[in-house]
Amino acid sequence: MVNDLRSRRITLVWLGTGAILLLALALLGLVMRVAQAVPGLISARVFYAMLTLHGSGMAGISLTIIAALFWYLMRRTLPLSPAVMQAAYGLTMTGALLLVLAAARGFGAGWTMLYPLPAMPGPVPAWDRWAAGLFIAGFALIIGAFALWSFDFLRAGVARYGSLGRMLGLDVLAGTTAPGAEPASPSVIAGAVVAVDGIATLLPGTVLATLMLANLVAPSFVVNPLLAKNLDFFAGHVLANVQIYIGAGVAYALLPLYTHRPWKTGKVLVAGWLVTLILVMLSAFHHLYQDFAEPVVVQIIGNIASYASAFPPIVVTIFAGVMLVHRSGMRWKVAPLFLYAGFAGWAIGGYAAIIDSSPALNQYLHNTLWVPAYFHTFMALSVVFFMLGGVYHVMPELTGRSLAEQLGKKAAALLLIGGWGLVGTWFLAGALGQPRRYTFYLAHVARLGWLGAGCVLIATLGMALIFGDVVRVVVSYVRTNDSPS
C-alpha cells in the first residue's frame, strides 16, 4: 500500500515535470520555425544551440517520460522498484539541467553530433570545450536513467516469469507454457525487447561518450571518426526507436480496457517481437548509406533489415490494434483517441522512413527535411500521442480527478491538425530539396516555411490546453491534499 502510494507520487512528479519540459521544448520548436520563416530573426549560433537542445531534450526526455508512464502501468504485473524510478528521475533532471547549461554556453553540434565537431566547432568557435563536455555528460546521464529502467525491468521480469525466454514469450512460441500459467502479456514482451535492446546498445553508447570526453579533455587523444559515427548511430538509432516500442507497450496495456477485448499473446505476436529484437539493431546500418568508405555489405544489410523491420509492427501491433477497435463499440474518450492516433503516426512515419531507407531514394532525401518529417511523425505524432493517451488514462488514478474530456478532444483536434500540417509541409519541402538543419528556407519553398510555422502554432496551442488542464488537476489535488482514490 505504501509502495503503491509512493509509485503514484513518483509518477505524478515525473509526468508533471515532463509536461513542463516537453512544453518548453515544443516552444523552442515554435521559435525555430518562425526564425526559419523570418530569416535573420535570431543568429545562427542561437538557432543551432536551440536546435540541439530541442533535439536532445525531446529525444532523451520523451524516452524517460514514456518509460516512467509504462513503469507505472506495469507495476502491478512486475515487481518493479520505486527506488530505481526515483534514481532515474534524479539522473534525468540532472542531465536535462546540463543540456540547458550546454545550450546556454552555445553548444550547437546537434543531438546526433559527429566527432570531432564537439571539440572543433569551427574557425570561429561557437562554444567552448566545457559546453561540449556538459552536453555529453548530460545526455549520458539521461541515457543512464534509461539504462537503470532497463535493468530494473529485466530484473523484475525475470523474477516474475523465471527467465528472459519466458519474459519474451518463447514458451508460447514453443507451446510449452505450463498448465494454468499465464504467459507474458504483450506489454511485458514489448518491454523485454526494449530492455534487451537498451542494455545491448548501452555499451557502444558508453564507449562513444567516453571516447568523446577523453578527446575533449586531451585533444591529442584521437578517435577514428568512422568508428565514432558508427557507435553514435548504432546507439542513437536504437534509443530513438525503442521509444515507440514502449508506446506499443502502453497501447497493449490500455486499449483493451476501452474496447473490452483482450490483447492476447499469440505465436505471431511473439515471433514479431523476436524479429524486432534483432532488426532494430541491424537496421541502424541504414545510417551508413552515405559513408562510401564503409563496405557495401553494410548498405545491403541496412536495406534488408529496414524493409523487414516494417512488418512486425504493422502486423502484430498496428493491424491487431485496428482489429481490436473495429466494431468493438468502444467509447471514443480522449485516452483511446490518442492511442489510436498514435498507430497512424507510427504507420505513416514508419512508411516514410522505409522510403528513406531505400538507398536510391536516400541519395536524394538523406539530408533534406524529409528526415525530420518522418522522425517527428513517429516521435511527436506517435510516441507523444501514446504518452498523452496514457496520461489521460492514469491521471484519475493518480489524483482522483479526471482531465476534462471536451477540452481534451479540442486539444487533440488542434494537435492532429497542427502536427500533421507541420510534418506535411516538411515532407513536401524535403521532397522539393529543402535541406535539413538550415536556418532558412530556400526561396522556392519559403511559403511552406510560413505554413509550417502556422501549424506549429496550432499544435502548441493544443499542447498548452492539455498542459493547462494537467496543471488545474494537479493544483486542485495538491490544494485539497486528497489521498488518491
Partner 1 sequence: MRSVHRGKLDAAAARLGASLALALLAAAIDGLAHRNLVVHLVGEHMALVATGIMAALSARRIPRLQWVQRSTGHCPTPVALAGLGAILIWHIPAVFGLAVAHPAFHGFMHLSHVAAGFALGSSVPALKPLVQALVLIGADGLMSIVGLGMIAGAMRYGDYPPAQVASAGAAMIVTMQALWLLLPLGYWLANNDIGGSTRNVGRTLDQE
Binding site for partner 1 (CB under 8 A): 75-79, 154-155, 158-166, 168, 170-171, 173-174, 176, 178, 180-183, 196, 199-204, 207, 224, 226-227, 229-231, 234, 274, 277-278, 281-282, 285, 288, 293-295, 297-298, 301
- CB neighbour list of residue 21: distance below 8 Å, 6 or more residues apart: 57, 61, 96
Cα 391 from Cα 389, distance rounded (Å): 6
Cβ of residue 155: shortest distance to partner 1, in angstroms? 6
Cα 131 from Cα 179, distance rounded (Å): 58
Element (H, E) at 330: none
Nearer to partner 1 (CB atom), residue 308 or residue 417: 308
Cβ of residue 77: shortest distance to partner 1, in angstroms? 5
Nearer to partner 1 (CB atom), residue 155 or residue 333: 155
Which stretches within 291-381 are classed as H helix? 296-308, 311-312, 320-325, 334-356, 359-365, 370-378
Cα 413 from Cα 163, distance rounded (Å): 44
Nearer to partner 1 (CB atom), residue 298 or residue 442: 298
Nearer to partner 1 (CB atom), residue 186 or residue 452: 186
Cβ of residue 261: shortest distance to partner 1, in angstroms? 19
Cβ of residue 148: shortest distance to partner 1, in angstroms? 14
Cβ of residue 32: shortest distance to partner 1, in angstroms? 32
Nearer to partner 1 (CB atom), residue 227 or residue 404: 227
Cβ of residue 415: shortest distance to partner 1, in angstroms? 34
Nearer to partner 1 (CB atom), residue 38 or residue 203: 203
Element (H, E) at 93: helix 82-104
Cα 167 from Cα 159, distance rounded (Å): 10
Write the DSSP symbol of residue 292: T
How many angstroms separate the Cα of 91 from the Cα of each of 68, 71, 82, 88, 94? 13, 16, 14, 5, 5
Write the DSSP symbol of residue 331: -
Cβ of residue 163: shortest distance to partner 1, in angstroms? 4
Nearer to partner 1 (CB atom), residue 49 or residue 147: 147
- CB neighbour list of residue 217: distance below 8 Å, 6 or more residues apart: 133
